[in-house]
Amino acid sequence: MDLILDLQNVVKTYDKKIAVNDVSFGVPRASIFGLLGPNGAGKTSLIRIITTITRADSGKVFLDGQALNSRHPEQIGYMPEERGLYKKMKVGEQLTYLARLKGLSASDTKQALKYWMEKFEVMDWWGKKIEELSKGMQQKIQFISTVLHNPKLIILDEPFTGLDPINTNLLKDEIADLRAKGVSIIFSTHRMEQVEEICDNIVLIDQGQNILNGPVKTIRNSFKQNRFKVDFAEEWKGTLPPGFEVVDQQADSLVVGLAEGGNSSALLQYLLGQGVQISAFNEIMPSLNEIFIQAVEKNHQPVKGQ
Amino acid sequence: MDKLFLIIKREYLTRVTRPSFIIATLVTPLAFVAFFVVASLIFSYESDDSKKIAVIDESGILKGALKDEKGLYFKFEQKPLAQLRKNFKDSGYDAILVLPKIDNLFSKDYQVFYYTSGQSTLETEDHIEDRVSDALRDYKIDALKLERKQLEALNTSVDVEPEPIEEGGKDATKLTSAIGAGIGFIMGFIMYMAVFIYGTMVMRSVMEEKTNRIVEVMVSSVKPFQMMLGKIIGVGAVGLTQVLIWAILIPLLITIAQVTMGFNPEQQMPMGPGAPAINPEDTQALVMAAMNEVGNIRWSLILPLFIVYFLGGYFLYSSMFAAVGSAVGDDMGEAQTLTIPIVIPVVLAIYIMIKAVETPTSSLSVFASIFPLFSPIVMPAILASNPPAWQVITSVLVLIGTSIFFVWLSGRIYRVGILLYGKKGSFKEFAKWIFYKE
């Protein structure tokens, strides 16, 4: 697979505390990758290693096939969870400064600034100080500063907090646009419904370890419990033959668990044979939220051997 | 290197274009000169009320004459004291001066009596003492039949004149050391101010960046060490700019004040009571000699060295301030606690500097001029008294080496400190951070 970022057995220890414990995963190019985990799991430590802020004690990190080096920050855009800008600096100066620090030439900076500021319709703010802007406006500026230098890899830590629904959608579209242009995005968040919506792949980090990794679809499939939900157009009070376990029965719906090797078509055929009118038939997919909680709880109680 | 320059540029430009900087840079010299002018005016202020004084000269030394001056009007009275005191209220006099008979020509004490209803002023007393003392001296010379010329020959002024051992060595005059000490004080105090003002500026700015969380964005582009160094150099350049502007503006404004207000600070120097009246010609000669000495000082050597010590001392101390700033975030109280160990050597250095100016060759002075925590303040103070070359060279080398070491050490603390939240900085923690691997 074509990987933009490849971590191999990365270990990082702080003062006797293991922050990252032998973590390996790859981020496919031009995809949106969810970096998930409970608080204090080691996500920030991983991000700091990827952005070359700190160095791993052992293990290897490759960006675009090359071992991580000091020129690489110029190809990465990082938006930290705790946003930060120079409050007294003007928007234009601030963005120019940050872009120049990322190695962009003065003329390239000008062009990129014009493009992005027009795209986000913030050209009027050029001479305004950051402290004069609202939080949502500051967030936009922060996002522009992250993508201004045309990075190959963008790391967004909780990018949607503090944004209204309109700006959230604007940002989501922007992220999709960037992916279409071949940019890879690492997306770190606690909001699982957002992950479900936009991520192609995820890694779940807990206690410094990779406990779950892969494409979102595959993971959800592997966690599904073979349950189906049937909605009836009329009331139905019948019973099911052996091999089908009724998990929940309401007047107009039924949740059925299939036995190992059970077939959903057989269930549907049986119900149709009963002459009842069916309005919907769905497989119940576990939400990432459930998977997250399940996986983390399991990881926290290894001794009990569930 | 490119990025370091960008950081320096930002740190410098955002500060020097700030209105508060421009105001402070321009107003401080004005305030300084205004203070100077007002202080001179206060010292030169003389009582403007006039006094009429009756004089009863039983001694006869005044020979019926005492010049009216400085608002004092003297009138010789033949009436007895008792009568004058009795009619004092209607007499129009403000005071009565009584000079008793002189019994013993060899007595060194002589008391005159000054009767007044109100308070006698120090200024009036001084004036009368001076005049009576002069008159008494003339009277004694005549009464004892002394030769005036011989007497004057007794007042010899002795000067120790420093001369070089080597032939053709640089000849210094007595004034050299006095001027050297004066310049030393000024330089020492500029250093002291610079370390505090600009060191604290660095610390506050680091704290602000950490509180703003801009560091997280910054360190994903540049190394923390570049950030710290850029800030220190940028603020240092701001400091140098400000000090240089002051160095030009203050003498300029003083000159303007002298010309427009027609006052001469050399003559308005505050004099203690009883100080001998200064002959204007002597003053002029002294000023000329002093100017000459100021010209004689090896400025071509002292000025570059002063900048070396300014930068060395500034780097040494401001890097420590930066390290403290990185560790505390927005807690100013905690910052103050942690800066105490930085402030102590600076304050000690000031005391040593004051002593070293008087005795530039004492072992304390030599030690302090080399010890890097003191040398930036002490050495500039004794440079004008020409310390030996080995001492200057050793001092400069030790200072440069130590500055580099401290900047490196602070960088180690800084890189950990700025990314750490919630953990309180302490010296034990600092020691740990220094040895953290990246």
Whether B419 sits inside 8 A of A82 (CB atoms) is no
Helices (H) and strands (E) in chain B, counts: 16, 4
**Rounded to 10 degrees, what is the CA torsion of B315, B317, B323, B329?**
-110
Distance between CA A154 and CA A184 in Å, rounded?
6
The whole-number pLDDT of residue B128 equals 82
Give the mean pLDDT of B288-297.
67
DSSP letters of chain A? Answer: --EEEEEEEEEEEETTEEEEEEEEEEEETT-EEEEE--TTSSHHHHHHHHTTSS--SEEEEEETTEE--TTGGGGEEEE-SS----TTSBHHHHHHHHHHHTT--HHHHHHHHHHHHHHTT-GGGTTSBGGGS-HHHHHHHHHHHHHTT--SEEEEESTTTT--HHHHHHHHHHHHHHHHTT-EEEEE-S-HHHHHHH-SEEEEEETTEEEEEEEHHHHHHHH---EEEEEESS-------TTEEEEEE-SSEEEEEEPTT--HHHHHHHHHHTTPPEEEEEE-PPPHHHHHHHHHHHHH-TTTT-
Closest CA of chain B from A43, distance in Å: 15
The C-alpha atoms of residue A257 and residue A251 are separated, in whole angstroms, by: 18
Nearest to A80 by CA among A56, A98, A97: A98
Over residues A201-230, the mean pLDDT reads 87
Query: Between residues A137 and B47, which one has the greater pLDDT?
Result: A137
Tell whether the model's pLDDT for residue B284 goes beyond 50.
yes
Pick A84's closest partner by Cβ from B217, B221, B437. Answer: B217
Mutate to test the interface with B, among A70, A100, A158 (most CBs of B within 10 A): A100
- Cβ contact B214–A84 (<8 Å): yes
Mutate to test the interface with A, among B4, B221, B227 (most CBs of A within 10 A): B221
Token digits for A187? 């997306």
Contact A55 B222 (CB under 8 A): no
Q: Render pLDDT for B197-234 as a digit per residue (tens, 0 to 9).
A: 899 999 999 998 888 888 888 888 898 999 999 999 99
Q: What is the ipTM of this complex?
A: 0.80
Q: Provide the pLDDT confidence category of residue B263 given band limits of 50, 70 and 90.
A: low
B403 pLDDT tier (thresholds 50, 70, 90): very high
What percentage of chain B exceeds 70 in pLDDT? 84
Share of chain A above pLDDT 90, in %: 35
Q: What is the DSSP string of B294-338?
A: HHHS-HHHHHHHHHHHHHHHHHHHHHHHHHHHHHHTT-HHHHHHH
Side-chain-side CA neighbours of residue A294 (13 Å):
14
Tell me, yes or no, if A116 comes closer than 8 A to chain B by beta carbon: no
pLDDT class of A304 with cuts at 50, 70, 90: very low
So what's the pLDDT on residue A291?
A: 86
Give which of B387, B386, B393, B345 is closest to B366, Cα–Cα: B387
Residue spans per domain, chain B? 2-32+173-434, 51-151
Contacts of A85 in chain B (CB under 8 A): 212, 214, 217
- Edge-to-edge strand list for the sheet holding A66-67: A17-28, A3-14, A58-63, A66-67
Taking the Cβ of residue B218 and every Cβ of chain A, the question of whether any pair is shorter than 8 Å is answered with yes
Q: Which of A57, A73, A100 is opposite residue B220, by nearest beta carbon?
A: A73
pLDDT of residue A303: 56
Q: Is the pLDDT of residue A256 over 60?
A: yes
* A149 to chain B: closest CA residue: B221
Judged against a pLDDT cut of 70, whether residue B175 lies above it is answered with: no
| Confidence label for A110 from pLDDT (cuts 50, 70 and 90) | very high
* CB burial of residue B270 (10 Å; 0-12, 13-18, 19+): exposed
Weakest-pLDDT range from A259-273, B6-20, B61-75, B336-350: B61-75
B57 — pLDDT class (breaks 50, 70, 90): confident
Tokens found for residue B128: 């009368």
- Give yes or no for A73 touching B (CB within 8 A): yes
The residue ranking higher by pLDDT, B288 or B55, is: B55
Q: Report the Cα A152 to chain-centroid distance in Å.
A: 17
pLDDT digits (tens, 9 = 90+) for B121-169: 777 788 888 888 888 888 888 888 888 888 888 878 787 776 777 766 5
Distance from the B187 Cα atom to the nearest Cα atom in chain A, whole angstroms: 34
Residue B429: closest C-alpha in chain A:
A15
**Cβ distance A232 to A252 under 8 Å?**
yes
Interface check for B220 against chain A (CB to CB < 8 A): the answer is: yes
Q: What does the buried/exposed string (b/e) look like for A33-52 if buried means 16 or more CB atoms within 10 Å of the residue's CB?
A: bbbbbbeebbbbbbbbbbbb
Contact B214 A145 (CB under 8 A): no
Please tell me which residue of chain B has the smallest CA distance to A77.
Answer: B220
Mean confidence (pLDDT) of chain B: 81
The pLDDT value recorded for residue B240 is: 87
Q: How confident is the model at residue B422 (pLDDT cuts 50, 70, 90)?
A: low
pLDDT score of B37: 81
Residue B438: pLDDT band with limits 50, 70, 90: low
Q: What is the Cα–Cα distance from B108 to B128, expressed in whole angstroms?
A: 17
For residue B345, give both structure tokens: 């050597």
Q: Are A95 and A113 in contact (CB under 8 A)?
A: yes
Q: Which amino acid is at A73?
A: P
Q: Is B73 helix (H, G, I), strand (E, B) or coil?
A: strand
Residue A146, pLDDT above cutoff 90: yes
Q: Of A55-64, A232-241, A293-302, B154-163, which gets the smallest average pLDDT?
A: B154-163
Using the predicted structure, report yes or no on whether residue A113 has a pLDDT greater than 90. yes
Whole-structure pTM value: 0.75
What fold does the segment set A3-221 form as a domain? Answer: Rossmann fold (3.40.50)
- What's the gap between Cα A30 and its chain centre? 14
Contact yes or no for B369/B357 (Cβ under 8 A): no
Assigned architecture for domain B51-151: 3-Layer(aba) Sandwich (3.40)
Calculate mean pLDDT across residues B259-276.
51
Does B8 lie at the interface with A, CB-CB under 8 angstroms? no
The answer to whether B50 contacts chain A (CB < 8 Å) is no
- Tell me the nearest-neighbour CA distance from B406 into chain A, angstroms: 22
State the smallest CA–CA distance between residue A148 and chain B in angstroms: 13
The CA distances from residue A112 to A160, B60, B292, in Å, are 23, 101, 62
pLDDT (mean) for A165-191: 91
Phi, psi of A36 (to 5 degrees): -115, 160
Q: What's residue B267's pLDDT? A: 47
CA distance B432 to B409: 12
Residue A190 CB coordination number (10 Å): 15
- Measured between alpha carbons, how far is B229 from A70 in angstroms, rounded to an integer? 18
CA distance A133 to A139: 10
pLDDT band at B262 (very low <50, low <70, confident <90, very high): low
Is A98 part of the contact surface with chain B (CB cutoff 8 Å)?
Answer: yes
Taking CA atoms, A250 is separated from A114, A229, A230, A242, B416, in Å, by 59, 11, 10, 19, 59
Answer whether residue A115 shows pLDDT above 90: yes
Question: Residues A69-86: pLDDT tens digits?
Answer: 888 889 999 998 888 888
Tell whether A145 lies on the interface with B, counting CB pairs under 8 A.
yes
Nearest residue, CB atoms, A98 vs list B217, B419, B432: B217
Q: What is the nearest CA distance from A281 to chain B, expressed in angstroms?
A: 49
Q: What is the pLDDT of residue A97?
A: 94
B118 pLDDT above the threshold of 80: no
Region B101-125 average pLDDT: 79
Residue B213 touches partner A, C-beta closer than 8 Å? yes
Contact with chain A for residue B298, Cβ under 8 A: no
Q: Are B3 and A84 an interchain contact pair (Cβ–Cβ within 8 Å)?
A: no
Sequence-distant (6+) residues with CB within 8 A of A183 are A30, A151, A152, A153, A154
Across residues B415-426, what is the average pLDDT?
A: 78
Set of chain B residues whose Cβ sits within 8 Å of the Cβ of A80 = 213, 216-217, 220
pLDDT at residue number B270 = 45
Q: Which residue ranges make up each domain of chain A? A: 3-221, 225-283
The tokens of A147 are what?
């993508």
The one-letter code for the residue type at B313 is: G
Under the phi-then-psi rule, with left for phi > 0, alpha for psi from -120 to 50, and beta for the rest, what region is B395? alpha
The answer for residues whose C-beta is within 8 angstroms of residue B345's C-beta and 6 or more apart is B373, B374
Instruction: Decide which of A93 and B188 is more confident.
Output: A93
Question: Each residue of B85-100: pLDDT tens digit?
Answer: 777 777 778 888 888 8
Question: CA B346 to CA B400: how far, in whole Å?
Answer: 17
pLDDT at B193 over 50: yes
Most A-contacting residue of B14, B217, B218, B416 (CB-CB within 10 A), to test interface: B217
Model pLDDT, residue B276: 47
Distance between CA atoms of residues A232 and B26, nearest Å: 85
Residues of chain A with C-beta less than 8 angstroms from the C-beta of B218: 101
Mean predicted lDDT score pLDDT of chain A = 87
